[in-house]
Amino acid sequence: MLEQRIQQHFIDSADLKYQSAQILSKPIAAAVQALLACVTSGGKVLACGNGGSAADAQHFSAEFVGRFERERPELGAIALTTDSSILTAIANDYDYSVVFAKQVRALGQAGDVLVALSTSGNSASVLQAIAAAHEREMTVVALTGRGGGKMAQALRETDVHICVPHDRTARIQEVHILALHCLCDGVDAQLLGEQETPT
């Protein structure tokens, strides 16, 4: 029975990814273009999320600054989830809901991109970060699920919404990491002038 349960996780994840390929390829491509415009004009990417989404923000930033699969110049990216002194000071002195927004206001500039992750689309700290990014004239790339929640309403027409068509957190996160890998691969392919599909 345990093996069946495990196999079902794999099947469900694969099914959702297959369904999402058609739905999400257009917004992911738009996000690649937004990121490319940012980094080629000397901008940087700020990334944030809570819990598993915090880990995804760090994962994405690491692959931007270091590399994804191929050698290329370093790209500017900062995960706003990693500095425990900043996070605890802001949460203690103000409120947890502004831990990312204050960093966006401090570090963000016009032309930068905020990658905002929330499986529910309702994380207060991520919503505040989006508002701060808009104040700084930044583009937002939002990764959500469950219809997008409040984040869907907070986005501008110039932002990009990658909304996984599912309600289960684990499944949404599994597609989020694939989408982030697609963003890294897409930016690399454009920067390196590659047109072939990956194998």
Rounded mean pLDDT, 44-61: 98
How far apart CA 186 and CA 36 sit, in angstroms, is: 9
Side chain identity, residue 2: L
How far apart CA 138 and CA 65 sit, in angstroms, is: 19
Helices assigned H by DSSP within 41-168: 52-65, 84-93, 101-107, 124-135, 149-154
Rounded mean pLDDT, 140-150: 98
Q: What is the pTM of this model?
A: 0.95
How far apart CA 192 and CA 46 sit, in angstroms, is: 23
- Summarised one tens digit per residue, pLDDT across range 63-100 is 999 999 999 999 999 999 999 999 999 999 999 999 99
